[in-house]
Structure 1
Amino acid sequence: MQMILQQAQKMQEQLMAAQAELAAAEVIGQAGNGLVQVTTTAAGEVRSVRIDPKVVDPDDVETLQDLVVGALLDAARAAQELQAEKIGPLAGGLGGAAGGLGLPGIG
């Protein structure tokens, strides 16, 4: 039992380290072949938005709005991929017990 608890604690520490790494790691989402770029952390915090002036048309605000949404969705997808890469193997090593341990970020 002691060995199981030690393994669980080690995995929890690894998960916490991975989550801290994700909070600092940045991903970039883009739309319109890079005309709109959004930089977020892998945890989902938006850090910056870059909009190429070529896409700014006062008579077509809807396209710009769609590009911003597309870039945000692309950044979210990239963040999910990075989360799966960093946390997925750790969660799998818990044999499905992650939820029972109350580990944040596993779901």
Structure 2
Amino acid sequence: MAGRGGGIGGQQPNIQQLMKQAQRMQQQLEAAQAELASTEVQGSAGGGLVTATLLASGELQALSIDPKVVDPDDVETLQDLIVAAVRDASRAASELTADKMGPLTSGLGGAGLGGLGLPGL
């Protein structure tokens, strides 16, 4: 076998360098998660008659209902609007999470373990 260390193709990953990259990646993930935990997103339904505010982490923070949509004889419509507003906010939270976390986690599985250069993964 040619090269030092007997690694694949004569190259052996530098463990210290890999550890530094992994630590940097962990710090970036933690920072993104902390930002998401405090970022609010909104969803709405009925042309804004019902608005739901969620943290990007998914926790419901507020629900706003325009009095015009409150009809004691038609509670089902109000229920549907609430569900739709929460779903809309949840979709926005998922998109924000994907935007923030995607670049950081895109390579974690499969080839290269996030660019860490580990052979055979």
Q: Same fold (TM over 0.5)?
A: yes
Task: Please identify runs of 4+ aligned residues in structure 1 that moved more than 6 A.
Answer: none
Q: Deviations over 1:37-64 (max 9, x none)?
A: 0001000111100000000000000000
Instruction: Tell me how large the CA RMSD over aligned residues is.
Output: 1.3
CA contact (8 A) 1:35 1:55 kept: yes
Kindly indicate whether residue 72 of structure 2 is the aligned counterpart of residue 67 of structure 1: no
Aligned residues: 98
When normalised by structure 1's length, the TM-score is: 0.87
Deviation of 1:92 after TM superposition, in Å, equals: 1.5
CA distance in 2, matches of 1:68, 1:6: 46
Kindly indicate whether residue 37 of structure 2 is the aligned counterpart of residue 18 of structure 1: no
Q: Larger Cα Rg: Structure 1 or Structure 2?
A: 2
CA distance in 2, matches of 1:61, 1:70: 14
- Tell me the residue number matched to 2:4: none
- Tell me the residue number matched to 1:44: 58
- Tell me the residue number matched to 1:92: 106
SS at match of 1:68: helix
